[in-house]
Amino acid sequence: MALGLILMPFLYPLVDIDTPEEAGQKARVYNPSNDPPLRFKGTVKEFIERDFITQRPAITIEGFEGLAGNIRVSIGNETISEGQEVIVEGKFYGFLGIGYVMGNYNEDTEKIDPATVERVPTTNFILALVLFLVGLVLTIWGYTRI
């Protein structure tokens, strides 16, 4: 029960994650070769089925902005709709907040990997919640048996 209770804030995530505004500030001074990937939680503002430049689906996050407006996040074939809360993790490729968040980009082959996008609550959070509830039930059951 205690393990589930400890893990839930980290897996929801409530701890150790940036806001879209903080991630936007980091994107303005980001260096993909030296800086760790951006990781932030935000609400999907717009879903683009096929982005003009990357030729793959993309989303924009409310508050995640560079100098020229919202920064797009290149995604895979996830079914994401507007208004959903998501966690985004990926590298920023661009200049002064004008660019894209992607997984990896190979300049030689021009292969773009999508950024990691996961809905909130995450599946790991649900597993921690189940662990907590099972622990709670076992605690109550053990207490009534004594």
Residues 6+ apart with CB under 8 A from 15: 9
CA–CA separation, 37 vs 129, rounded Å? 28
CA–CA separation, 74 vs 57, rounded Å? 6
pLDDT tens digits along 78-108: 778 888 899 998 888 888 777 888 887 777 7
Residue with tokens 């894209």: 100
- 0.85 surpassed by pTM: no
Q: What is the pLDDT of residue 125?
A: 84
